[in-house]
Amino acid sequence: MSRIGKAPIELPKGVEVSISDKNLVIVKGPKGTLEQPVDPAIKLAKEGTTVTLSRPSDAKPHRSKHGLYRALIANMVKGVSEGYVIEQELVGVGYRATAKGQQLQLALGFSHGITLVLPTEIKVSAAQEKGKNPIIRLESADKQLIGQVAAKLRALRKPEPYKGKGVRFVGELVRRKAGKAAGK
């Protein structure tokens, strides 16, 4: 029995959920509008300020989709009401980031600068304080999209284990290795 799928989704004030006959869920809130198609086997019901999902049987595909769609819809509700924020820091000498509109310009130790054009659903800002690592702040209502963009940023220069240089999430621990000198 899926404990996640059985839990009802509470709708905060200002959030509206509409379910079309083709099982398309549309969530509207102060931070934006998100859509998610849902498998026809999973039934959705809206009762007052709660949304519940039910499945037709205990078959494995139905059980897995039950919890999946409940989690996706709950993430959409949280996204349009509160939003998601991901902060990443650039660790390394000469690593810089500047944000101009939807463009993020990065200097990550390569011979050339990197320019990323971000989707319009994501707000980006870059902060540079003296004596601290540059911080990139991503904000969006779409959890999946913001996670994908953050992973793409991190993949440009993953933190390496010897000096710890690279793009990492704020608070992420990088396991450090000893260099050659430690072997003697």
Class of domain 3-81: alpha beta
Edge-to-edge strand ranges of the sheet holding 32-37? 16-19, 24-29, 32-37
pLDDT for res 183: 55
> 143-156 vs 60-81: helix axis angle to the nearest 10?
90
**What does each of the 184 residues of the chain score in pLDDT, given as a tens digit?**
458 888 999 999 999 999 988 889 999 999 999 999 999 999 999 998 999 999 999 899 898 899 999 999 999 999 999 999 999 999 999 999 999 999 999 999 999 999 999 999 999 999 998 889 999 999 999 999 999 999 999 999 999 999 989 999 998 888 999 888 755 5
Phi, psi of 62, deg, nearest 5: -70, -40
Domain with CATH 3.90.930.12 in the chain: 3-81, 84-169
pLDDT for res 2: 55
Question: What are the distances in angstroms from CA 173 to CA 42, 120, 167, 168, 170?
Answer: 39, 30, 12, 9, 9
pLDDT for res 182: 57
pLDDT for res 104: 94
pLDDT for res 103: 94
Architecture of domain 84-169: Alpha-Beta Complex (3.90)
pLDDT for res 137: 96
pTM, rounded to two decimals? 0.87
pLDDT for res 1: 47
Question: Rounded to an integer, what distance in angstroms lies between the CA atom of residue 84 and that of residue 102?
Answer: 17
